[in-house]
Amino acid sequence: MRAIDAIKLDDPSFLLPSPHAEMAALRREAPVAYDARTDAWVVSSYESVSFALRHPEIFVSGRGVSVQERKLGTDGPVHGGDFMLATDAPRHTELRAAAQPGYVQPRIRAWEDRLRARIVAAIDALPAGEVLDAHTRIAKTLAIASVCDYLGIPEHDVPWVDELTSVWSPEHTQWSGVSVTDYPEGTLERYFAVLLEERAAAPADDVLTIIAGGRGASLSLRAKLMLCIDLVVAGNEPLAAGISGGLHALAEHPDAFARLQREPELIPTAVNELLRRVTPIPYMCRTTASDVELEGQLIPAGSFVYLLYSSANHDEDVWGKPYELDVARSDAGKLLSFGRGAHTCIGAPLVRLVYRILLEQLTSRFAALEMGGDVRIVTGVHMPHLGFLPLVLVPASPAHRDTP
């Protein structure tokens, strides 16, 4: 059997859990391979995935970046060209410029103290020494709370926004309107339309204000709504998946957790390493705008292409011992978990900050993380991830407690 025949990216269960052996075989045999069954190309080596990301003029996003969007089967840009993830320059540049100022390092740093207080409060509320579902109680809680807080969503709306985010459908991008009442009540669109109107009238220090006014001012209401939704939908689930996957890895590698206790300066590196191993978004898709030769293969114009970030993140040609957790891995920053180039994750600085503070707190307050049962993996809205992570936060002896 050829390696490509074992790759079934159109079947969600294929990624449960990560099919490392199949992807390694594909990298060895055919790092750029045509899959006749799905009429798509699969790119699996670090070098080829990086090449594709560096050439968004060839590997375009506007025809869809997911299997679901491929099925929309439109001739023009999917979602009417308003959903940033699935747009190309010059439209993409314009949309990104409207949200990016909110996600630059200095702004994120200024938010750090408020975020730390939130994370400390969330951890204070956890029962030490008992089995708890760390996916729900830590990862999901912190992911939605931090994304919403940073955007400027009031705290009392967070559970509701979380619920709507998990049932939001790309079909909603067909909705169009110029005023608040053009959008159905009880939807994320209506909710954000109201908030944006409020921020335009009374600016605050948040990302919603940046989208409502500033560089976002010239965008249509529909485009602004898509930006807000892009941020919560693109941010919430991957962040939760990244955290629970990382906590699981640390619980299974007590030596790594202990090393971070002894050498907390390694925590930023550990964050990259955990996100490399987990790769919460295992692949994204593109369509070729012209013929392109990659690893000796000619991919014709108009081809649907899978870029396997997860495989690239475990490519033996780039990473020494890629399946090992090495919290001191010196080149962990090369990870492709946030993509690269024009569409690089806009929320990456926020993710790194949330994750760093969380690890600082856990390593300084608890003696260890221990598994308290079997994990459960769920298909998820966008990707498979841990849906249940039974964990024990082992209390530290009083002498060890040294909260930063």
Question: Helix, strand, or coil here: 394?
Answer: strand
Q: Which stretch binds ligand HEM (CB under 6 A): 173-181, 184-192, 254-262, 280-288?
A: 280-288
φ, ψ for residue 161, nearest 5 deg: -65, -40
Nearer to ligand HEM, 258 or 378 (CB): 378
Which residue's CB is nearer to ligand HEM, number 85 or number 210?
A: 85
Closest CB 197 distance from ligand HEM, rounded Å:
22
Check binding of 31 to ligand HEM (CB under 6 A). no
3-class state of residue 299 by DSSP: strand
> Which of 212, 221, 239, 228 is CA-nearest to residue 168?
228
Does residue number 233 form part of the binding site for ligand HEM (CB under 6 A)? no
Residue placing its CB nearer to ligand HEM in the complex, 290 or 344: 344
Q: Using CB atoms, what's the residue nearest to ligand HEM? A: 347
Do the beta carbons of residue 351 and residue 328 sit within 8 Å? no
With binding defined as CB under 6 A, does residue 77 bind ligand HEM? no
Q: Which stretch binds ligand HEM (CB under 6 A): 172-180, 182-190, 318-326, 346-354?
A: 346-354
Task: Single out the residue of 60, 345, 386, 392 in contact with ligand HEM (rule: CB under 6 A).
Answer: 345
Report how far apart, in Å, the C-alpha atoms of 390 and of each of 59, 132, 283, 358 are. 40, 5, 27, 18
CB atoms within 10 A of CB 112: 13
Q: Can you tell me the distance from the alpha carbon of 350 to that of 75, in angstroms, rounded to the nearest whole number?
A: 35
Return d(Cα 169, Cα 172) in angstroms, integer.
Answer: 6
61: contact with ligand HEM by CB under 6 A: yes
Residue 353 engages ligand HEM in binding (rule: CB under 6 A): no
Using the minimum distance from each CB to ligand HEM, give the nearer residue, 329 or 367: 329
Residue 347 interacting with ligand HEM (CB under 6 A): yes
φ, ψ for residue 307, nearest 5 deg:
-105, 110
Can you state the angle between helices 267-278 and 221-252, rounded to 10 degrees? 100
Among 58, 85, 229, 251, binds ligand HEM (CB under 6 A): 85
Residues near ligand HEM, by CB under 6 A: 61, 65, 84-85, 96, 147, 230-231, 234-235, 238-239, 242, 275, 280-281, 284, 337-339, 343, 345-347, 350-351
